[in-house]
Chains A and B, each alone.
Chain A
Amino acid sequence: MLSIGELLANTLSGDQQTREDASRQLEQAQQTNYPAYVVMLCQELSNEQTETFIRNSAGLALKNSLVSSEASRRNEITQRWLNMDEPTRQQIKQAVLATLGSSDQRAAATAAQVVSAIAAIELPTGQWTDLMKTLLENVTTTDNSQLKIATLTAIGFVCESIDSDILAAQSGAILTAVVSGARKEEPNQEVRKAAIDALYNSLEFIRENFDREGERNYIMQVVCEATQSADVNVQVAAFECLVRIMQIYYDKMRFYMEKALFGLTVLGMKHEDERVALQAVEFWSTVCDEELELMGEAAEAQETGEQPERLSHNFAKAALPEILPEEEADEDDWNVSMAAGTCLALLAQCVEDAVVAPVIPFVENHIRNNDWRFREAAVMAFGSILEGPEHKLLANLVNQALPVLIDMMRDPSPQVKDTTAWTLGRVSELLIECIKPDVHLHPLITALVYGLKDSPRIVSNCCWALMSLSDQFGSKETPQPTYHLSTYFEGIITALLETTERSSNESNSRTSAYECISILVQGAALDCFPTIQKLTFTILDRLDATISAQNQIVGSDERLAHSELQSNLCSVLTSIIRKLRTEVVPFADRIMTTLLSLFQTATKHSTTLEDGFLAVGAITTAVEGDFLRYLEAFAPFLYGALSNHEEYQLCSIAVGLIGDICRALQEQSLPYCDTFMNVLLQNLQSPVLNRNVKPAILSCFGDIALAISGRFEVYLEIVMLVLAQASNMRATDGVNLMTNYDMIDYVIALREGILEAYVGIVQGLKTGEKADLLMRYIDQIFNFMNMTWNDQEKTEIIIRSMIGLIGDLAEAFPNGQIKQWFQYDCVTQVLREGRSNRNLPAGTREVTRWAKEVGFVEATAV
């Protein structure tokens, strides 16, 4: 048997067989005797005589035995460690801590990771209480720089990986250690860098310290001084810290902004090292983020007549003349010029009109520069300031710029073209009134269609510009007889179809083109319908082709691409069906044939089924009662999806589809209802099904009741039981102050579902002249409404549904049988709200009027 050191060495061997053997043996050692395994690893890690690479891999193996990204596995690992006896754990922790001081830098760095992994297990259970004290001593009582670096790195890892609630109690010690390493008195710049990195990770939970003025001053002083370090790595880290501080502690920054931050960041933007400049720009983008949010809060507060809780210091506005970022372009991943573009867009939203005057000279000076970088920067600057300032201020500028921009779609530089296409998209989206159909539209569309033939990244922004035009000129509801894009419609669709024939989806180009086709179809006017009908066949042919190609697919990447293509095609098909409505009926057979064979070939985990189901949903609305022809063939897929609880999105769509089918078939759906109800009730009993499907199931009960009216009688008792149980869900227990937002949203969704169910049931039974069956449940219904009304958390949809339900009940019992329930306070209050609250969705008032007419007046008249 080989020693653990040899095994570790072998895991890095060039020979595959050796590697696999070694890994297997290590795995076995771990399985058979975990304590012995970790002790051995720890010995290798801490042994100063061992070679670096073995120490390193011993440390990593040790760390890997302590962490996992899977929740269930993590639990197991935690227990395995905690079940070891105290002395063994103590021995390992001591050895690992000692290794932090090793002169072998890599071993020390690995030890830092192990410290954090053990801490992540022990600190939450209240153990290893002296860890922070030890680490603090490492930093404050030694001149050993290596030890300091490794210790600070360990602190950084600990801060990053452990819940801030648990660390908050130790924040004093952590902060003391970190700040002491970051001070300018610290001669070793690597120590400072490690300290500032750790500080970055600790910013979340030192809130209490940061609240105290003295401590805050000191922290800010240390960070600001670090931006002046001789070592540029320290400078970058310090600026990163400032950005994060601005994000978390904006409210406390006023003093520092005046004293230091403003000057430091303005200089920082001009720094020769791009990483510093990038962070300085990010700093101002973050200022804008915060101030935009505060503007939103202030507007909201004004609406409700309250004082906003926090105030904006308007840093951005005050600093504007100094901080406008100069832009240059580069190809890198996330660079100064990209950050500057984003910053400028944020500034424009933040300071509005004030941004225009200083930026325009920059645009004018550089838009015809010989260097493409300057041209790109000029266009980017122009595109960035289009959102924020008043339209009046921009209209003239945009008018002048449009011909220039359209021209620049033929620029030799792809970057310039890409940014120009994006800017044209922004103009279309934000300032459509500047685009004069008779002057600009023809050259604009020609340029964009031309761009569709260009490189993939340009395609995407051209598609977006075309989508914006369609959104602005078209109508998604009732089609207009004709519209500004009618003349170009067929040409654009043809060009987009050509683009989608490219074999790759580089830069998202194919998806963009398909999405663009969908949007164009959604906004199209009546005179485009012939083109859309032709498009239908092209899309169906392409779908058929993907279905027959299904068997030739190998490899997971290819499978993914294939499934994405099918999703794109289904999505266009759905848009077409929704648009054509009854005019799609002649092709319904062909569409359903294709969809059914798609379902037969779809793999279990692809999203293809989902997208196909959405198309089926659209078909039900178009063909209505005729859907019966397809139901027998389609039902197996529907039931399959409903019982596939792991794919809850698919399951949720399938639930909705039952509702669609019932709406389409009306009483013809009766023969299927037993099965529908069985599956739905089983789903409600499932403990594994994602809860977000459940509200949709409740609404679906309402859909079924509306469809089969009086025949719903057989399901009434069980459904009422379900609804009573669902009503018992509460978001808070009344004592707990912590707010669980997910839970609030879920309870609201449930209540919306419950109300939709009640509305459907009441209307259905009334139509079937069986309203009397409801008498048993009137108390249940009104108690539910009373509770829902008295809960602070209620949506406009809830109020609206309640108004409707009250009216439905009044109408179902026209002879005052339930008069006493109409005396409930909530009834008066709901109706009052319905007619006086302007924020309720359109149509609420009509429902109120009706509810008042049919019931409320009769029921309460004396």
Chain B
Amino acid sequence: MDFTNANCNNGEIFMFQSSSPPKLVQPTPPPPSVIHKAKYKRNSISKNPEEARQKRIELDAQVRRKHREQLITAKRIKHNLDAYKDDDAESEFDLTHHDIEKLKSGLNDSNRDSRLSSLKDLSTYLADPPDTLKHFVINDNCIDILIKFLSGADPEEQLQATWCITNIVAGPKEFCQKAFIAIPHLITSLRGGNISLQDQTAWAIGNLAAEGPECRDLLRSNGVLIPLIELLNSKNVSIVQTTCFALSNLARGPNAKLDEFFSAGITQHLLFYLGTDEMNEVVSEIAWVLTYLTSSEDDKYTQILLKEGIVPLLVKHLRPFNHGPLALPLIRTFGNIASGPDENTDILIQQPDFLPAMLEYIQSDCRPVKKESLWVMSNITASRRPEVLIKVFNAGFIPILSSIATHTNFDIRKEAAYSLLNIASHGEEYMKPLPHQDLLPGFLVFIRSQDIDLIRLGLGYVELLLTQVQNGQQLLEQMQGIDALESVTSQEDPSLRDTSTRLMDKYFGEDFFNTNITEIQSTE
């Protein structure tokens, strides 16, 4: 083969398809005695040459991956270190005790350049700390040294030390806990006027907040919220993004004390960034903050936002369609809003573009977007107000939801089925026009499944079909629906069993039941 360009156009085919037949079913487990025999006096020595060979091949692949990674990382990191280092010492993440001592003395050096270069080295190593470095952080005075830099006057040293803290708090739990004493210093940095330091500090705080509830409490009690929210005044894209990252981590969990977010004036900032057309890059991050603010058990936070008119601003960003995951936080926020009282839903559907946009989103190719949009719709259709349902009907949702509920994967189907059942349970006039010829087979598959939620959905639908649709009973017989109901009688869950038995008794009489007993019972 030659590699002149002419050669490439003759449609060469490379084989990536399987050369071995696919195995579709998970293998059945081996008999227990085989499993247990292998565990008797288990040790890590290879039991046979083949096992030893596999181990060697695996180790070889690991070593190769590490070398490739080191080469690539070295090229990337060098880009940062070159300015400070003349020799092109490759950054190998192996440090001896001697190296650590050198690093320490570098951090304490009287020469600023060598302090800075040591700080940069330290933060690089912290990304993948060897044991010697872990010891330095956990059992030695690493944090104290860094705090000295934070409280110093040199902005570049402050920035680099904050980088180190960022990487430390992203590490294992004991790293993070060690860094707790730096929190007051970080908050001081937030208040300063140094933009890159503020950005970096917000990142470190975001990492800290992700560690867990205790850490979030600690940050709050040190007064992190007010200076953090003030950073939203900055019109620097990067700072706003990082700040939102930190805020959304802080707003996580059941005891997030959201009151403080609102009294610190977060609402105005959120509205501003959603309203302006100049800063589209930050919308996604803003929406992530909103997902946490609207997900609280207490609806009052959502109410505040609704009163300030957040919905039209959010709906505006549904277009142009973002079928990628950028749409996720927006959609999740809508879902949170719609899960509140019916008034919330009204506000949503009064937006002329809301339902048409949702109709597009439930047909998205991006699975998480599709699933969450369907969840939004199941919240919308749960509304008790007829005008909502009429709008949903008129927007053309029924055929689309029906086709989703009867095709594709079960978890997606389930979401669409919730909406349909919600609609159907509002009464005869909503149940009748549904395309039962298409829906029934899909819901019967639900009933025959082993998933309790799916069975419940299926039974709910069949019950409505029997009670509210004229030829429902006939339709069910045509499609072997009785067999499906019969299969539920062996379910563990008593409520499901009862429902199916009740339906069979009521609509198909005793006879059906008795002729279908299984052969095994006749042998008893």
Contact residues of A with B, CB < 8 Å? 140, 164-165, 172-173, 175-176, 179-180, 204, 208-209, 211-215, 218, 243-244, 247-248, 282, 285-286, 289, 334, 338-339, 341-343, 345-346, 419, 422, 425, 429, 460-461, 463-464, 467-468, 475, 477-478, 480-481, 508, 511-512, 515, 564, 567, 571, 574, 578, 607, 610-611, 614, 617-618, 621, 649, 652-653, 656, 659-660, 663, 674, 677-678, 681-682, 684-691, 694, 699, 702-703, 706, 714-715, 717-718, 721-722, 725-726, 728-729, 734-735, 737-738, 740-743, 746, 750, 756, 759-760, 763, 767, 786, 789-790, 792, 804, 807-808, 811, 824-826, 828-829, 832, 835-836, 838, 842-843, 845-847, 849-850, 853-854, 857, 860-862
Contact = CB atoms under 8 A, between A and B. Distances in A.
A607 to B, nearest CB: 6
B270 interface: no
A511 to B, nearest CB: 7
Given A215-B518, A726-B16, A460 B45 contact: yes
B506 interface: no
Contact of B325 (A165, A621, A829): A829
10 contacts: A214-B521, A345-B39, A425-B43, A508-B47, A515-B45, A567-B52, A610-B56, A659-B64, A682-B1, A686-B15
B153 interface: no
B124 A463 contact: no
A742 B23 contact: yes
B279 A735 contact: no
Contacts of B181: none
Contact of B75 (A179, A346, A728, A763): A763
A721 B12 contact: yes
Nearest to B3: A714
Given A461-B43, A678-B1, A825-B325, 4 more contacts: A285-B32, A738-B25, A763-B75, A842-B129
A480 B96 CA distance: 7
Interface in B48-64: 48-49, 52-53, 56-57, 60-61, 63-64
B281 to A, nearest CB: 5
A687 B15 contact: yes
Contacts of B68: 659, 663, 699, 702-703, 756
Contacts of B67: 621, 660, 663
Given A342-B40, A836-B249, A850-B80, A860 B63 contact: no
Given A690-B19, A694-B16, A862-B278, A826 B324 contact: yes
B141 interface: no
Contact of B324 (A512, A735, A824): A824
Chain B interface residue bracket vs A: 35 or more
Contacts of A214: 521
B13 interface: yes
B19 A689 contact: yes
B16 to A, nearest CB: 5
A212 B490 contact: yes
B241 to A, nearest CB: 9
A835 B520 contact: no
B409 interface: yes
Interface of A is mostly: helix
Contacts of B166: 845, 849
B523 A571 contact: no
A695 B507 CA distance: 59
B22 interface: yes
Nearest to A165: B25
A846 B520 contact: no
A478 B95 contact: yes
Given A567-B52, A703-B68, A824-B324, A419 B41 contact: yes
A477 B70 CA distance: 14
Interface string B499-524: 00000000000000000001111111
B410 interface: yes
A286 B30 CA distance: 12
Contact of B45 (A346, A508, A574, A857): A508
A674 B285 CA distance: 48
Contacts of B48: 508
Interface stretch (B202-210, B311-319, B434-442, B457-465): B202-210
A759 B71 CA distance: 12
B326 A828 contact: yes
Given A610-B53, A790-B325, A835 B207 contact: yes
B408 A734 contact: yes
Nearest to A419: B41
Contacts of A829: 324-326
Nearest to A850: B76
B46 A511 contact: yes
B367 A790 contact: yes
B8 interface: yes
Given A684-B15, A832-B245, A578 B1 contact: no
A804 B72 contact: yes
Contacts of A721: 8, 12, 14
The CB with the most chain A CB atoms within 10 A, among B56, B69, B368, B410, is that of: B56
A846 B127 contact: yes
A254 B164 CA distance: 54
Contacts of B75: 763, 767
A536 B48 CA distance: 25
Given A463-B45, A699-B68, A838-B210, A741 B26 contact: yes
B25 to A, nearest CB: 8
Contacts of A172: 518-520
B12 A718 contact: yes
Nearest to B284: A828
Contact of B14 (A176, A179, A685, A843): A685
The CB with the most chain A CB atoms within 10 A, among B49, B132, B249, is that of: B49
Contacts of B518: 172, 209, 212, 215
A642 to B, nearest CB: 14
B77 interface: yes
A387 to B, nearest CB: 10
B336 interface: no
B322 interface: yes
Interface string B1-34: 1011101100011111111101111101101110
B520 A215 contact: yes
Interface string B373-415: 0000000000000000000000000000000000111100000
Contacts of A508: 45-48
Nearest to B173: A838
B142 to A, nearest CB: 17
Given A243-B32, A685-B12, A838-B170, A826 B71 contact: no
B326 A846 contact: no
B333 interface: no
Interface in B71-112: 71-73, 75-77, 79-80, 94-97
Given A685-B14, A689-B19, A847 B45 contact: no
Contact of A740 (B22, B171, B366, B410): B22
B325 A341 contact: no
Contact of B33 (A334, A567, A850): A334
B238 A861 contact: yes
B326 A685 contact: no
A860 B163 CA distance: 22
A467 B45 contact: yes
Given A341-B40, A515-B46, A726-B16, A213 B35 contact: no
Interface in B163-214: 163, 166-167, 170-171, 203, 206-207, 210
Ranked 6 nearest A-B pairs via Cβ: A825-B324, A846-B127, A212-B490, A478-B94, A825-B326, A464-B43
